[in-house]
Amino acid sequence: MQNLWLRFREGTHTRFGTLEGERVRVWHGDVFDYPQRGDRTIALKDVELLTPVQPTKVIALWNNFKALGEKLALPVPAEPLYLVKTPNSYLAPGGTIRHPGGPGKVVFEGELGIVIGRSCKQVAERDALAHVLGYTCANDVTVADILHRDASFAQWVRAKGFDTFCPFGPVVATGLEPEKLRVRTLLDGEVRQDYPVSDMRFSVAQLVSLISQDMTLLPGDIILCGTSVGVGSMKPGSTVEVEIAGIGKLVNRFA
């Protein structure tokens, strides 16, 4: 079943529901456990969008797209290479990405996010998709200069873990075939990235299965699939959009 799940604030209340054109249908219960469809709808313009889920962790992939790996002459990984983005970095649609200060170059990385729907530990690849709720848009923001500043230690988590450095949303879309999706990233209206998800080295099912061998994935956790060619720097005042047909458009300003 195809749904566009979102979380939002209506007045002082936090709710969840589905997007239906320019209106939001309010649901009751829990999106991960027998959600109950409500009768009431609200105009989208009258609510404040929040992150569509509240992850306990966001896993971010490195070198998972063939085109970028070949451009950078990277060796083909034998297993998924990943880091963790911390909860302080999560940012809602429309939120402002904040420069952490200093001279570092801040870059955008438009990505597809896999949203876990059921707890899984050491799940087989053939069963992995049954543990996926759906998919979302994400921006794996990075201070590129920090990554290899210390020759003795690659600072992946620090470079990608600043406050506001993990925008995702606006919805979690169900019922999609991820291998048919394309990720487009626009900077101030100009297309900078436009790549197919089918170019991934590790598929959605493989990522969920292999990462679940290492750690339990919980409902709401997100796996960022990695990015491809076209990554670039942002200047304060610019707007970055990550767009995936079937999911929507994640828009954030950089300041």
Residue-wise pLDDT for 7-17, tens only, equals 999 999 999 99
pLDDT of residue 149: 92
pLDDT of residue 188: 98
- Tokens 């070949």 map to which residue? 70
Closest residue by Cα to residue 63 from 53, 78, 52, 48: 78
**Strand partners of residue 30:** 33
| Residue 1: pLDDT over 80 | no
CATH code at position 7: 2.30.30.370
pLDDT of residue 103: 84
User: Average pLDDT over the chain, rounded to whole?
Assistant: 97
Looking at residue 219, what DSSP letter applies? T
Go through 19-40 and write b for each residue having 16 or more CB atoms within 10 A of its CB, e for each that does not.
Answer: beeebbbbbeeebbeebeeeee
pLDDT of residue 152: 97
Task: List, in sequence order, the alpha helices (H) in the chain.
Answer: 66-71, 156-160, 204-214
- Same domain, residue pair 31 and 129: no
Could you list the residue range(s) of the whole structural domain that residue 132 is in? 51-254
50, 65, 86 - which closes a domain: 50
Q: How many domains does the chain have?
A: 2
Q: Are residues 99 and 59 in contact, defined by beta-carbon separation less than 8 angstroms?
A: no
- Same domain, residue pair 143 and 189: yes
d(CA 17, CA 41): 9
How are beta strands 239-244 and 90-91 bridged, if at all? unpaired
- Same domain, residue pair 183 and 78: yes
Structure tokens at 253: 């300003």
CATH code at position 135: 3.90.850.10
- Tokens 């750690």 map to which residue? 215
pLDDT of residue 102: 85
Q: Any long-range contacts for 185-188 (C-beta under 8 Å, 24+ apart)?
A: 185/108, 185/109, 185/110, 185/139, 185/230, 185/240, 185/241, 185/242, 185/243, 186/240, 186/241, 186/243, 187/108, 187/232, 187/234, 187/238, 187/239, 187/240, 188/238, 188/239
Q: Return the amino acid letter for 253.
A: R
d(CA 78, CA 223): 18
- Same domain, residue pair 46 and 56: no
